[in-house]
Amino acid sequence: MKRVVVTGIGALTPIGNTISSFKANLFKGVSGAGVITKYDATNFKTRFACEIKDLNVADHLDRKESRRMDPFTQYAMIVAAEAMDDSGLDVEQINLDRAGVIWGSGIGGFETIESEVSAAAVSQSETPRYNPFLIPKLIADIAPGYISIKYGFRGINYATVSACASSSHAIINASDYIRMGRADVIIAGGSEAAVTKAGMGGFSSMKALSTRNDDPQTASRPFDKERDGFVLGEGAGALILEELEHAKARGATIYGEIIGVGMTADAYHITAPHPEGLGATNVMKAALADAKLSIEEVDYVNVHGTSTPLGDIAETKAIKKVFGDKAYGLNISSTKSMTGHLLGAAGSIEALACVFAIQENMIPPTINHNTFDPEIDSKLNLTLNKAQERKVDIALSNTFGFGGHNATVVVSRFKD
Of how many residues is the chain composed?
Answer: 416
| Element containing residue 137 per DSSP (H, E) | helix 134-138
Alpha carbons 407 and 393: distance in angstroms, whole number: 20
CA distances from 378 to 141, 277, 315, 371 (A): 42, 18, 14, 10
Per-residue burial over 226-243, b = 16 or more CB atoms within 10 Å of its CB, e = otherwise: ebebbbbbbbbbbbbbbb
Alpha carbons 15 and 3: distance in angstroms, whole number: 32
Q: Does residue 164 have an active-site annotation? A: yes
User: Backbone dihedral region of 16: left (phi > 0), alpha (psi from -120 to 50 degrees) or beta?
Assistant: left
First-to-last CA distance in the chain? 15
Annotated catalytic residue, options 304, 354, 369, 405 = 304
| Element containing residue 282 per DSSP (H, E) | helix 278-291
Q: Does residue 369 have an active-site annotation? A: no
Q: Does residue 304 have an active-site annotation? A: yes
**β-pair partners for 341:** 232
At residue 355's C-alpha, the angle toward residues 181 and 367, to 5°, is 145
Annotated catalytic residue, options 169, 274, 341, 369 = 341
Handedness of CA 271, 109, 230, 102 (dihedral sign): positive
User: Catalytic site residues?
Assistant: 164, 304, 341
